[in-house]
Amino acid sequence: MLRSSHRKSRLLLFGVFVAISSLFWVFIGLNLLGSDFKQLVTSHIKNLETEDDFTSHGILDLSSVLEDPLDFDTQIADVHDSSGENSNLLLSFYSNTTLTFASHFYVISLPHRTDRRASMEMLRQALSLQWTYVPAVRPDDSPIIDIVNRVQRIRLGAGSQPVEEFDWPSDSDMDKLSRSALPLDLSGSDLWSLQAEDLRDRILEVPPILPVVDETLYDGSISAHLGDDRITNFASEAQPLTCATRNLTAGPLYTSSLPSYMLLTSAKIACWYSHLEIIKRIANDDTHHPPQKLQTDVHEALSGSQVLHGDITVILEDDIDMERDVRERLQVIWAALPADWDIVFLGHCWSNESYHPPILDVQTKLSGGTIGIHPSFAPKCTHAYALTRTGARRLWLHLRHPPFAYSRALDQAFAWLVLSGRLRAFSVVPSLVVQRKVVGSDIDGGGTGVGSTWREHLMNGVLGT
């Protein structure tokens, strides 16, 4: 009896020891994974047993559970080193986490600006995003030289005649082409940077999408107006180009007192061209599909429910910073927008984008800040905007219209198209993405060499802006 009692006591003590040891090693293991990853395991992997279970539940948003996204790569490395076979599943799953809120991200970047590329890589890794870098063209690249020459010829051909207003193609034609599933052929200013032989072939083979402007100044036969000698020598005679405004075909006469933002430089034309190349890609990409919302309620988006959008592309420039809770905010934005929007300005400058009453004004749960979505007023700066396929097509049709094409800085063109009601545009207030203004500007250096004097700060920017 006594022996039996001792045996039971020893077994009980041994059981307690095993239990405590197990808890100890579980504690050590979880600490190796990190506190944020424990949340991930608890909230998202608890009921999933196989890789098929993971993929059937859609894309997991890892950044929403990380207190400090900058630590994510270290945590993933720790998991890979300590968890053997299961790490492959988790790493594979992480690689698909980017596009729960957009189908594509493009970053326009001059290849030689390695300083900016380094900053963008820090931003991308911190937010666990994936994007495609698209090389920007340089002001001295041949397509830009051809376009600058064409704009100069057009304006020189107009001579001293009063600057006139131009007409747009009919709204019904624009809308029909914007909504069509058929690819848009090259037309208008798309042909300006082609070689002469290619241009003749295009004109013979491809009917223009929009009615041809009935002015030979725009169709390539400038010699009919100027004569061959003036074509050859016009570059040395031409005054610096200036930016047009409204629906005007040219800018004011050049004077040395004009501010830099009114000068139409090769760098500004290169910026227009670089953005337009991506816009054209989006417009004719038949892999885009209409947006699919898994819920229609903004408060569900705030609670973390996913909204899948197959028809949204985000275009960024390479001098930016973003809010750390960019995922949460974008989910709320997409859920609140009307079905037929064209463009959303995620960042903007030199305009009061809260001018119109908001269609949404809510508080976010992660940062405690507010998200206001307003009908756009006249936003400038093109460092961060989102497009639908329809919006990209509508924008392309306007930007290539010969009297309007390359007539001003691109952000001035965007602002006028919005202000004149030609785009269905919305702006996020305050900006979700801002320009950093810490490295030199390639377009307009301003007085300090880092762009205009406009400054804006984030509530919790990844790079501290």
Q: What does the pLDDT look like over 271-326, one tens digit per residue?
A: 999 999 999 999 999 775 555 543 445 555 554 444 445 689 999 999 999 999 88
34-38, 52-56, 135-139 — which one is most confidently predicted on average? 135-139
pLDDT at 219: 41
Place of tokens 């060499």: 449
Specify the residue for token string 């905007």. Answer: 385
Kindly report, residue by residue over 47-75, the tens digit of the pLDDT: 333 333 322 332 223 232 223 323 323 33
Which residue from 447, 452, 417, 422 is spatially nearest to 434, judged by alpha carbons? 452
C-alpha torsion angle, residues 64, 70, 74, 76 (rounded to 10): 30
DSSP 91-104: HHHHTT-GGGS-SE
Confidence of residue 40 (pLDDT cuts 50, 70, 90): very low
Residue 198 banded pLDDT, cuts 50, 70, 90: low
Tell me the average pLDDT across 102-120. Answer: 94
229-245 pLDDT, tens digit each: 333 344 445 789 999 99
**295: buried, middle or exposed (CB in 10 Å: 19+, 13-18, 0-12)?**
middle
Q: How confident is the model at residue 176 (pLDDT cuts 50, 70, 90)?
A: very high
